[in-house]
Homo-oligomer: A and B are copies of this chain.
Amino acid sequence: MERNQTYIVPGFAASGIAAGIKADGRPDLALIRSDVPAVAAGVFTTNRFPAAPVQIDRERVARGTARAILANSGNANAATGPDGLKDALATSRELALRLAIPEHEVLVASTGVIGHRLPLDKILAGLPGLVADLSPGGIPAAEEAILTTDRFPKLAVARARCGGRDVAVCGLAKGAGMIEPHMATMLAFILTDAVVPRDDLDRLFRRAVRSTFNAISVDGCESTNDTALILANGVAANRPITAGGADGRRFGAMLTEVMGHLARAMVEDGEGATKRVDLCVSGARNRAEARRIAYAVARSNLVKTAFYGGDPNWGRIIAAAGSVGIALTADRVALHFEDVLMFADGKGRAPDPERISAIMSRPVVHIRLDLGMGRASFIVQTSDLTHDYVALNAHYHT
């Protein structure tokens, strides 16, 4: 039970079971419960066709507290119209009764196929067992139950002294395809026992999202279901953490550590990915421009296939950077693959083929594109585009 000890957060219990939503019998229904009402914050997809659970959570998170998260995989409950909303509400109502908590303190999340009604009977039939299985060591079981095409679970934990007490931050996530800014088809649940006032939690969480879940790209597609939630149940009884102070900085660093770990894991587990590319665009006039150029490169299919082939094709990176309509001075731009200069003074260099070949064969490659215009930068994590990505997505059933 060493593993379970690792992912324990005081005051939280979790469980995961196979309710029969997935045809193959893998776990597909997860529950997280806080012993006491927890301060809640959330970030959701900006897609104009948000799934039913996203519509519900948006309203409920705005109330400021939550007690439980009920999540299923195997069915996204998206593009299901008013029926989908009714189905999601029926599951949260039944769970609220069983946990004896107000219904609005239940958050819901779904991931899987779009356009099919939730198998309501299976979920309702699964709830008694799911509640009975709740335990402090149940977080890894809950994690298993939210995975879809993921090849490995994504869990992370950080512990530190904060506000005079030891506090824990633990995260569980799923992702794989459709990973992009606005956190496409990802679910991430962050649990902490710290005392954090609602507005501070919201600020600290959003700030951490910007450099983690909103700084990754697998295939440039945005889901209807993306949800990142944080629950802070205050069981640690620390001095309240404010966003501005030293405690806030320490707590923010914990969030970034946990969420950054989950974000990198999502890219490494990107559908079909064999490689992670850590792309830093620096020397921009402002962060927004750095971000736009970073994403243009990170999303380029030509760049992504080149990394798959182990081809140090700097020309495709330059072409992608030049395509977004931001004025660049070619002579000032410098491109490094790790510490090797590939492009400068408007033309390509001739680096040592053996060194470059060694760099391209690494599982993580660091690319730095300096624009030579200013001091702003943005780092994005992206994956390569492979045969397996095509195979997975050409034959995923609707």
Contact = CB atoms under 8 A, between A and B. Distances in A.
A306 interface: yes
Contacts of A76: 315
A134 to B, nearest CB: 33
A300 B222 CA distance: 9
B393 A386 contact: no
A316 B177 CA distance: 12
Contacts of A387: 387, 390-391
Nearest to A303: B221
Contact of A314 (B47, B81, B115): B115
A301 interface: yes
Majority DSSP secondary structure for residues of A touching B: loop
A84 interface: yes
A397 B79 contact: no
Nearest to A302: B221
Contacts of A83: 347
A390 B305 contact: yes
A398 B315 contact: yes
For A182, A302, A322, which residue has the most chain B Cβ atoms within 10 angstroms? A302
Interface string A64-81: 000000000000101111
Given A79-B343, A114-B319, A301 B394 contact: no
A303 B397 CA distance: 13
Given A78-B315, A311-B397, 16 more contacts: A49-B318, A49-B322, A80-B347, A81-B331, A81-B345, A114-B318, A221-B300, A221-B319, A221-B320, A224-B322, A301-B385, A302-B393, A309-B393, A313-B396, A315-B398, A390-B390
* For the complex of A and B, 7 pairs with smallest distance between CB atoms: A114-B315, A309-B394, A81-B347, A305-B393, A115-B348, A48-B322, A222-B323
